[in-house]
Amino acid sequence: MLRRRPLLAAAPALLALPCAARAQAWPQRPVRLIVPFPPGSTPDIAGRAVAAHFASVFGQPFVVENRPGGGGTTGTDQIAKATDDHTIGVSINAPIATADRLYPRLPYSPQRDLALVSLLVRAPQILVAAPQLNIATPAEFIAAARARPGAMSYASTGVGSASHLAMEALKIAQNLDITHVAYTGFPQASVDLIAGRVQAMFAIAAAVIGQAREGRMRALGVTAAQRFRGAPEVPTLAEQGITGLESYAWIGLISPSGLPAAIRGRLEQEAIAALRVAETRTRLENAGFEVMGTTAAEFQAFVEAERRDWGGLIERLGIRLEL
C-alpha cells in the first residue's frame, strides 16, 4: 500500500487537468503493450518495433507482454478490459474484425470495448500447392480440383483464420469441392503440404516464399492488389484472371475504448512517426510486411470493410467456435 500512495494521491490532480494537458502528462509510469501471441510471432515483431519508438519519445518503458491463447482473443480481451490508462496492445484480423462472428460467447465486444489507433503493417497471402500436383498457375489448380471433386484437400492455420477464409472464398467463386483440414498453426500445415498429404493452402507470403523458391511447394498467386515486393516473381491472382479475392493478414495498434482520446491521438501520431523511421521500416519489411502507418480514421474504415466482407462469409459458412 505504501508504494501505491503516490499514484493514488496524484490521481485526482491528473483527472482535473484539461484533456490536452493530461495527454502531455501521460504516461506516468511504464506502459504495458500486450501482444496476444507468442514471442517471435509476427504480431510480436510489429509490437516490439513500435514499443521501442514509444519508449524513446514518451520517456517511459513500453513493456511487451505476450498473452497468447484463443486465436488471439485471450490477450485482446485483456487489452479491452484494462482500466488503468497504461495498457495498449497490438492484434490481428480475427480478434478485432471477425471474432464476434466466430465466437458466440466472446468475452469482449470489438466495437464497444476496443479503440483502433493505427494499422501498422499488412501482408498478402500466397496460394501455394504441393509439388506433387505438378501445377504452376491458379487455373491449373482449379482445373485439377474440378477434375476430382472432393478428392483434394487444403490446409489452414485454423478454423476462421485468414488462410481458411481465403480458400473458402475461392471455393465459392470457382464452385470447387475441396476438403478443409485445419491445423493449429503454420508449421505442421506446411510439413503436410510439402509431403503432399494436403494439396494446397493460403499462407502469409513471407512464411512460404523461401520454401517455394527452393521448390518444396509451388507459389501460384498473391492475394494483393499488386505484386508483393518480397516476391515480385509471383503474379497476383487478379492478373491471372482470379478477381475479387484481394486479402491481407494485418496487425494494428489498439487500446481500450476508455483510454482518453487525446492520449490515443498522441499514440496515433507516434505510431505513424515510428513507421517512417528507416531502421524500423527496414526491420518490418525484412520480416515480410508492407508498412502502413494509417490514421485512426483510416484504420476504422479498413476494419469496417473487413467486418463486412469476412463477416458475411463467416455467416454464409455457418462457422461457430467456442473459446
Shared domain for 236 and 308, answered yes or no, is no
**Residue (of 80, 149, 70, 146) closest to 113 by Cα position:** 80
Residue 308 lies in a domain: yes
Shared domain for 201 and 226, answered yes or no, is yes
pLDDT exceeds 90 at position 131: yes
Residue 38 CB partners (closer than 8 Å, separation 6+): 44, 66, 68
At 11 the pLDDT is 47
At 9 the pLDDT is 42
pTM attached to this predicted model: 0.85
What pLDDT, in 10s, does the model give residues 222-237? 999 999 988 999 999 9
Give dist(CA 54, CA 20) in Å, integer. Answer: 18
Q: Which domain-ending residue is among 222, 240, 258?
A: 240
Give dist(CA 97, CA 94) in Å, integer. Answer: 5
Residue 304 lies in a domain: yes
pLDDT exceeds 90 at position 212: yes
Q: Crossing angle, helix 162-174 and helix 296-317, to 10 degrees? A: 60
Give dist(CA 240, CA 257) in Å, integer. Answer: 42
At 8 the pLDDT is 41
Give dist(CA 157, CA 189) in Å, integer. Answer: 7
Shared domain for 170 and 210, answered yes or no, is yes
> DSSP states of 155-199 as a string?
EESSTTSHHHHHHHHHHHHHT---EEEE-SSHHHHHHHHHHTSS-
Residue 13 lies in a domain: no
At 4 the pLDDT is 35
Give dist(CA 310, CA 94) in Å, integer. Answer: 9
At 10 the pLDDT is 47
CATH number at residue 157: 3.40.190.10
Residue 15 lies in a domain: no
CATH number at residue 93: 3.40.190.150
At 70 the pLDDT is 87
Shared domain for 92 and 148, answered yes or no, is no
Number of domains the chain is built from: 2
Shared domain for 65 and 93, answered yes or no, is yes
Per the structure, the complete domain to which residue 143 belongs is given by: 124-240
Residue 1 lies in a domain: no
Rounded to 5 degrees, what are φ and ψ at 142? -60, -40
Q: Which domain-ending residue is among 218, 240, 262?
A: 240
Q: Are strands 200-204 and 114-129 parallel, antiparallel or unpaired?
A: antiparallel
Give dist(CA 193, CA 183) in Å, integer. Answer: 11
Residue 6 lies in a domain: no
* Three-state SS at 144: helix
At 22 the pLDDT is 61
Shared domain for 114 and 156, answered yes or no, is no
Shared domain for 261 and 285, answered yes or no, is yes
At 15 the pLDDT is 52
Q: Which domain-ending residue is among 202, 221, 240?
A: 240
Shared domain for 184 and 273, answered yes or no, is no
Shared domain for 277 and 233, answered yes or no, is no
Please compute the mean of the pLDDT values over residues 262-269 and round it to a whole number. 97
Q: Are strands 200-204 and 62-66 parallel, antiparallel or unpaired?
A: unpaired
**Residue (of 323, 301, 300, 319) closest to 311 by Cα position:** 319
Write down the mean pLDDT value for the chain.
Answer: 91
Shared domain for 131 and 196, answered yes or no, is yes
What pLDDT, in 10s, does the model give residues 11-63? 444 554 565 666 678 999 999 999 999 898 889 999 999 999 999 999 999 99
Residue 3 lies in a domain: no
What pLDDT, in 10s, does the model give residues 65-92? 999 988 899 999 999 999 999 999 999 9
Residue 271 lies in a domain: yes
Shared domain for 268 and 232, answered yes or no, is no
pLDDT exceeds 70 at position 7: no
Contact criterion met (CB below 8 Å) for 48 and 251? no
What pLDDT, in 10s, does the model give residues 149-191? 999 999 998 888 899 999 999 999 999 999 999 998 888 999 9
At 240 the pLDDT is 96
Amino acid at 149: P
Question: What cell numbers appear for 321 in the block?
Answer: 467456435
At 19 the pLDDT is 56
Shared domain for 232 and 129, answered yes or no, is yes
